[in-house]
Amino acid sequence: MAEIMKTITSIHDMTTWARDRVLNRESIGFVPTMGYLHDGHLSLVKRARSENDAVVASVFVNPTQFGQNEDFTVYPRDPDGDSEKLRSGGVDVLFIPEADELYGQDYETYVELERLPLPLCGKSRPGHFRGVATVVLKLFNIVLPNNAYFGSKDFQQLQVIRRMVRDLNVSTMIVGCPTVREPDGLAMSSRNAYLSPVERKQAICLHDALMIAKGLFDKTETDASVYIKAMKDRITEESDARPDYISLVDPETLEDLPTVKDAALAVMAVKIGKTRLIDNMSLAG
Ligand code: AMP
């Protein structure tokens, strides 16, 4: 574990550093993020630190995964705070490129999956997963990681990346990590910073609704519509909460399940005021 964290902004310097690690037969663990780091991100860093010789974290607010009317320009940023957290977490390199470094003027190549991006978040965020898959593959080609760490909170993202890696024969291992929550159950997210104190209290409805689903599963309820109604009822109790989607899906295909038998994933996106939050919970036993 390095005492001093290096900060790298250029692709050339990042790849030179990574190639040296590869030549030394050191394994590289990689944690890609958009910054404004919280304990959820740091749990990925901790896992990467424990499983690799060297750890790289990136902070890059990726313009290609934001829609026209989304929050790219106002996305919270705290490069100094992030740097300090990553240094304390034992990261060897912080890779923090400018947008121009990754996407030059004449940029024209994207990674697009055919099916997995279509449901759930893909419906209200067309093009989002194209941007995610593209930037993740670019980062993998720059950082050369043996292992890359992603949170299960962004479950569709995790599945898109797993599928991309499989389909394109990328040699990086994808490690899915559990969702880290606030003490009241709210999944940690950089976007929680947008919530007013009143909205923050209301935001607990996402976790409450997932726990209701878990309760129904434990009582062996099989009708998905019963789950969805119960979850929706809890969410709409809050005056500023508007569900974007609430579904029970197959965790592999992300297709809707009409009946819940074996493994199912309860997933939702909910707007609390202007802030769109996502969460999910596995109902597999
Ligand atoms: P982001 O900065 O939001 O793009 O997230 C970077 C990585 O951190 C992604 O793999 C996320 O899934 C993961 N992540 C975000 N929030 C959490 C959380 N509450 N618990 C665990 N991982 C998370």
Kindly report the protein residue whose alpha carbon is nearest to atom 18 of ligand 1.
Answer: 40
CA 241 to ligand 1 centroid distance, Å: 22
- Determine contact, residues 164/45, Cβ cutoff 8 Å: no
Distance 257 CA to ligand 1 centre (A): 26
Around ligand 1, the residues with Cβ closer than 6 Å are 33-34, 40-41, 43-44, 150-151, 153-154, 177, 179-180, 187-190
Residue nearest (by alpha carbon) to ligand 1 atom 5? 33
Q: Decide which of 3.40.50.620, 1.10.3720.10, 3.40.190.10, 3.40.50.970 is the CATH code for 6-177.
A: 3.40.50.620
- Asked whether the whole model's pTM tops 0.75, one would answer yes
Residue nearest to atom 14 of ligand 1 (CA): 151
Shortest-distance Cα residue to atom 7 of ligand 1? 33
Domain spans of the chain, in order of start: 6-177, 190-278
- Atom of ligand 1 minimally distant from the CA of 188: 19
Q: How far is the CA of 150 from the centre of ligand 1 (A)?
A: 7
Q: Which residues contact 227 (CB under 8 A, 6 or more apart)?
A: 212, 213, 216, 217, 221, 248, 260, 266
Point out the catalytic residue in the list 12, 38, 41, 207. Answer: 41
Instruction: Kindly give the confidence (pLDDT) of every residue in the chain, 285 residues in length, as a single tens digit, with 9 standing for 90 and above.
Output: 556 999 999 999 999 999 999 999 999 999 999 999 999 999 999 999 999 999 999 999 999 999 999 999 999 999 999 999 999 999 999 999 999 999 999 999 999 999 999 999 999 999 999 999 999 999 999 999 999 999 999 999 999 999 999 999 999 999 999 999 999 999 999 999 999 999 999 999 999 999 999 999 999 999 999 999 999 999 999 999 999 999 999 999 999 999 998 889 999 999 999 999 999 999 986
CATH architecture of the domain formed by 190-278? 2-Layer Sandwich (3.30)
Q: What's the first-to-final CA gap in the chain, in angstroms?
A: 38
Count of C-beta atoms within a 10 Å radius of residue 271: 14
Distance from Cα 248 to the centre of ligand 1, integer Å: 21
Is 12 annotated in the active site? Answer: no
Mutation test of ligand 1: which of 37, 41, 60, 82 has the most ligand atoms closer than 8 Å to its C-beta?
41
Question: Which of 74, 155, 71 is closest to 117 using CA atoms?
Answer: 155
Looking at the chain, the number of H-run helices and the number of E-run strands are 10, 9
